[in-house]
Structure 1
Amino acid sequence: MKITVIGGTGLIGSQLVSRLREAGHDVVAASLSTGVDLLTGAGLDRALEGADTVVNVTNSPTFDEASPQFFRTTMENLLAAGERAGVRHQAILSIVGVDRVPQLDYYRAKTLQEELLRKGPTPYSIVRATQFFEFMDAVISWTADDTAVRLPATPVQPMAAADVVAALADVATAPALNGTLDVAGPEVFPLDELGRLTLTARKDGRTVVTDAQAGMFAAVVGDALIAGDGARLAPTRYEDWLDGHTR
C-alpha cells in the first residue's frame, strides 16, 4: 500500500513513517522541509501521486484565533489534491473531546477540520487522541516560575506518542472508518497531580499549586478530555514512561 503522511517529519509523523515502512508499505513523508506546503498547495500533487491513503498529522503554528483559517485552508487544499490523485482514504489526527471545549480557539479549529473532512469527497477516518506524555513539560512551562507551577485539577487521560502512532498505523492500513476512533491512555489523572508526578520524576523542587484559572486547560469543563465507552486504551502507563525518560 502507498501511504502519504502529511507532517511526516514531526513528532508523530516521523514515527508513523518509520512504523509503516517497517511493515512493508511504500510511504511518502511530506512536509515543508520536503517541499510540500499545505497552505499554498505547493508540492501536494507530487506527494499524493499514486497514494492509496493520506494521513494528515500537521498542526497549526499557533493555538490562537488564526488556527481556524489554517485548518480550513489546509484541509480544503488536501481534499482537493486527494480527489485529483484518486486517493481512496483520508485520515486525520484530532483530539478527544475536541467538540466539547468551544472556549478554546484551537479546539474550535480542530472541530472545523473534522467537519470539512466528513463533508469531503473521500472516505475518511478521524483518530482522536488524548494529550501526549511528551507535551507535559510544555504544559508545566506555561504557568511556571522559579518556585512554583500553577495547574488546574482538570481530569486528563494522557498517552504516549508511540501509542498514538500505533493506532494511526492500524487505521491507515485498514478500510476507512467513515467515523471516529478515540484513543487514550490507561489512567485518568487530575492535571495538577500529573504535574507533581512529573516534577518528582525530574527531581524538580518546585511546588505545584492547584489553580482553577491557570493555563489553557482551565477552560475545560468536567471530563471533556476523558475518552468515553468504546475508546481504544493504550498500554503505556505514565509513571513507566517517565521512568524510561528521566534516566
Structure 2
Amino acid sequence: MKITVIGGTGLIGSRLTRVLQDAGHDVLVGARATGVNSYTGEGLEEALTGADVLIDVSNSSYTDEAAARDFFYTSTMNLLSYGRAVGVPHHVALSVVGTDRLARAEGGYFAAKEQQERLIVESQQPYSLVHATQFFEFIRSITDDATHAGTVRVADVLVQPMAATDVAHAVAGVALGRPLFGMVEFAGPEIFSLEQLANQDLRFRHDEREVVADPLGRYFGARLQTRDLLPEATATLASTRYHDWRILSDSASAVSLAD
C-alpha cells in the first residue's frame, strides 16, 4: 500500500513510518522538512496523489485554544479537501482518549482536537479516528507543567498511559484495515493515579521534587473528574508496562551516549 503520514517526523510519526516500512509498505513522510505542509497546503497534492491511506498524526505546537483551533481547522480542511480531490479512500487521524470530556471541562487545546474530529466525521469521507491515552514520553512535560514553587501539583485523576511505539502500532493496524467510520480506543495495561506516576518518573530521573495530588489541580488547563482520562472498558490494551518502558528507554539512552 502507498501510505502518506502527515507529521511523519514527529514522536509518533517517525515510529509509525518505521512500522509501516518494516511491513513492506510504500510510505511518504509528510512534514515541513520534506516539503509537505498541511497548514499552508504546500506539497499536499503530490503527497496524496495515489495514496491508499492518509494518516494524520500532526500536532499543534500551540496549546492555547485560539492558535490550536486555527492549526487543526486549517490543516484538517486542507487534508480533507486535497484528499477528496485526488480520491484518497481512507483518512486516519490520531486523537486523545476523552477528547469530548476534556473539551467540555475547559476547552483550550482539547476543544481544538474535538473540532478536528468533527470536521473529519462531517466530511462524509471514509475515516477512522484512533484515540490513545497519554504517552509515557510525555510524563515529564506533564510534571513540569504542573510544577509551582518547586512542588508538582498534579490533578487528582487516574491515567492509563502507553508507550509511543505501541501507539504507532495501534495507528498502523487501524490504517491497514477498512475505514471504521467511527472511533477506536487504545490504552496502556496499567492504571495509575497521576500523582503515583509523576512520583515514579521523578524518582527514576533522581529528581526530588515533591508531588501533591491537588483536588483543584488542572491538567493542561482543564479541571477534570477522577476518571476523565481513562478509556472505556472496550479499549484495546497495549502490552508495554511503564517499568519495562522506563528500563528500555534508559538502556537506549545509555547506548546512545556511549556511541
TM-score scaled by structure 2? Answer: 0.91
- Which whole-Å CA distance do the structure 2 matches of 1:82 and 1:168 have between them? 19
- Which whole-Å CA distance do the structure 2 matches of 1:214 and 1:49 have between them? 46
- Which whole-Å CA distance do the structure 1 matches of 2:156 and 2:250 have between them? 24
Deviation of residue 50 (structure 1)? 0.7
Q: How many pairs were matched up?
A: 247
2:254 alignment partner in structure 1? none
Cα deviation digits, residues 142-190 of structure 1 (max 9, x gap): 1336743221221111000011001111011111111111000111111
Deviation of residue 209 (structure 1)? 2.0
Q: Quick one: structure 1 residues 24 and 37, their matched pair in 2 at CA, closer, same or farther if it must change by over 3 Å?
A: same
Report percent identity of matched pairs: 46
2:56 alignment partner in structure 1? 56
- Which whole-Å CA distance do the structure 1 matches of 2:182 and 2:245 have between them? 30
The range that moved more, 99-108 or 13-22, is 99-108
1:184 alignment partner in structure 2? 187
- Which whole-Å CA distance do the structure 2 matches of 1:119 and 1:231 have between them? 24
1:245 alignment partner in structure 2? 249
| 2:146 pairs with 1:143 | yes
- Which whole-Å CA distance do the structure 1 matches of 2:243 and 2:210 have between them? 19
Contact in 2 for aligned 1:202/1:246 (Cα 8 Å): no
Q: Gapped runs of 5+ residues in structure 2?
A: 252-259
- Which whole-Å CA distance do the structure 2 matches of 1:118 and 1:144 have between them? 37
Letter in 1 for 2:223: A
Contact in 1 for aligned 2:218/2:224 (Cα 8 Å): no
TM-score scaled by structure 1? Answer: 0.95
| 2:92 pairs with 1:88 | no
Q: Gapped runs of 5+ residues in structure 1?
A: none
Deviation of residue 215 (structure 1)? 4.3
Cα deviation digits, residues 96-120 of structure 1 (max 9, x gap): 0000122131111111111110111
**Superposed structure 1 runs of 4+ greater than 6 Å apart:** none
Cα RMSD between the aligned structures? 1.4
| 2:72 pairs with 1:68 | no
- Which whole-Å CA distance do the structure 2 matches of 1:104 and 1:203 have between them? 34
2:255 alignment partner in structure 1? none
Letter in 1 for 2:40: T
Contact in 1 for aligned 2:155/2:219 (Cα 8 Å): no
1:219 maps to which of 200, 223, 227: 223
The range that moved more, 38-47 or 209-218, is 209-218
Contact in 1 for aligned 2:127/2:181 (Cα 8 Å): yes
The range that moved more, 157-166 or 137-146, is 137-146
Letter in 1 for 2:166: D
2:29 alignment partner in structure 1? 29
Letter in 2 for 1:91: V
Cα deviation digits, residues 183-238 of structure 1 (max 9, x gap): 00111111111111111222222221222333435512231110102111011111
